């Protein structure tokens, strides 16, 4: 293979329940990940070393980048000699709860396995993905999937379907570890540990679906960033069937029944949120795309 190109989608969390704090410092989650139509692009060429460049000034191009670590981990585990030159074209906002870095890392595992002609199936790649970060295994699957444990035990769900979305990305990032810390102090178990698993496995029928949407990290972020709450309320007033913060924030998204109502919401909210980036998107029954050249 002379070149492999990967397209790596962003995700939102349709639900995110924080069930408990774990001895390893992480939190026990029950979440529904959903891939969305917003993509980073990564190009992989053969090289003797692993080298990285990107079009985004804030993205590290050294061993601290999750993409670099993904390629390095796969190289070490498979014992191959070569490397790859990776070029990242970044479209997914950083620090927005859309997991662009995790998606790029999963895409790197899939793409390097092809570039280096490895006999690597999901069974081999999933433990590597888990070592890279809690959100990475989901992106080996994409589509609609449930994440338990640290969010890294993945189970496929019925497709949610293609629904129009409006993403509101504020001009500040969210610090994931801090958000989990604050939210978990508010959890008064077992009152919050609803039997959420019992709600899964359904076929996403309306109108009961609304009961599924929720994010246990949301309130504590809204307390420090009230404009996120205002944006969420704006989405609901503008006709969103559900609106939530994604992951640990800072992005807030609305789900709409049709493109016309989504576009009307976009027009309504633009004036009041001038410093935000308002991004039309949609939920997708797809995952990482790999093109071999």
Site of interaction with ligand C5P (CB under 6 A): 26-27, 29, 133-135, 150-151, 176-177, 180
Which residues face 148 on adjacent strands?
153
Q: Judge whether 117 counts as a catalytic residue.
A: no
Alpha carbon separation from 235 to 54, 119, 255 (Å, rounded): 33, 46, 9
Residue 86 contacts residue 44 (beta carbons within 8 Å):
yes
Q: By CB neighbour count within 10 A (0-12 exposed, 13-18 middle, 19+ buried), where does 207 fall? A: exposed
The whole-angstrom separation of Cα 250 and Cα 221 is 8
Alpha carbon separation from 36 to 2, 39, 138 (Å, rounded): 29, 8, 13
Nearer to ligand C5P, 13 or 164 (CB): 13
Q: Judge whether 62 counts as a catalytic residue.
A: no
Nearer to ligand C5P, 26 or 212 (CB): 26
If DSSP codes are grouped into helix, strand and coil, which group holds residue 247?
A: coil
Nearer to ligand C5P, 19 or 265 (CB): 19
Residue 253 contacts residue 243 (beta carbons within 8 Å):
yes
Interior angle at CA 172, CA 218 and CA 62, nearest 5:
110
Residue 122's CB: how many other CB atoms inside 10 A? 13
Nearer to ligand C5P, 84 or 176 (CB): 176
Closest distance of CB 130 from ligand C5P, Å: 9
Closest distance of CB 33 from ligand C5P, Å: 12
The whole-angstrom separation of Cα 126 and Cα 139 is 10
Nearer to ligand C5P, 23 or 79 (CB): 23
Closest distance of CB 132 from ligand C5P, Å: 8
DSSP letters along 52-92, please? EEES-TTS--STTSHHHHHHHHHHHHHT---EEEEEEE--S
Closest distance of CB 283 from ligand C5P, Å: 22
Contacts with 47 (C-beta within 8 Å, 6 or more apart), sequence order: 82, 83, 84, 85
Among candidate residues 30, 104, 135, 216, the one labeled active-site is 135
Closest distance of CB 52 from ligand C5P, Å: 19
Nearer to ligand C5P, 138 or 276 (CB): 138
Closest distance of CB 117 from ligand C5P, Å: 29
Q: Which residues are catalytic?
A: 11, 135
């Amino acid at each position: 293979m002379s070149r492999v190109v990967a397209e790596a989608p962003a995700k939102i969390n349709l639900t995110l329940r924080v069930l408990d704090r774990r001895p390893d410092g992480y939190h026990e989650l029950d979440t529904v990940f959903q891939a969305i139509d917003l993509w980073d692009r990564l190009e992989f060429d053969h090289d003797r070393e692993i080298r990285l460049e990107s079009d985004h000034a804030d993205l590290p191009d050294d061993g601290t980048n999750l993409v670099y670590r993904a390629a390095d981990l796969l190289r070490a585990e498979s014992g191959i000699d070569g490397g790859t030159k990776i070029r990242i074209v970044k479209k997914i906002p950083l620090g927005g709860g859309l997991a662009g870095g995790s998606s790029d890392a999963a895409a790197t595992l899939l793409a390097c396995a092809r570039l280096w002609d490895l006999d690597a199936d999901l069974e081999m790649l999933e433990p590597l993905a888990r070592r890279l970060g809690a959100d990475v295994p989901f992106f080996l699957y994409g589509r609609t999937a449930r994440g338990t444990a640290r969010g890294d035990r993945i189970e496929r769900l019925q497709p949610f379907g293609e629904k129009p979305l409006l993403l509101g990305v504020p001009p500040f990032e969210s610090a994931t570890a801090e958000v989990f810390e604050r939210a978990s102090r508010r959890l008064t178990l077992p009152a919050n540990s609803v039997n959420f698993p019992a709600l899964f496995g359904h076929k996403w029928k309306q109108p009961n679906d609304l009961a599924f949407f929720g994010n246990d990290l949301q309130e504590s972020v809204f307390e420090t960033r009230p404009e996120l709450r205002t944006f969420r309320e704006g989405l609901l007033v503008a006709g969103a069937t559900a609106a939530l913060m994604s992951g640990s924030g800072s992005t807030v998204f609305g789900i709409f029944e049709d493109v016309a109502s989504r576009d009307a919401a976009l027009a309504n909210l633009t004036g009041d949120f001038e410093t935000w980036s308002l991004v039309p998107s949609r939920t997708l029954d797809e995952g990482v795309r790999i093109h071999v050249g």
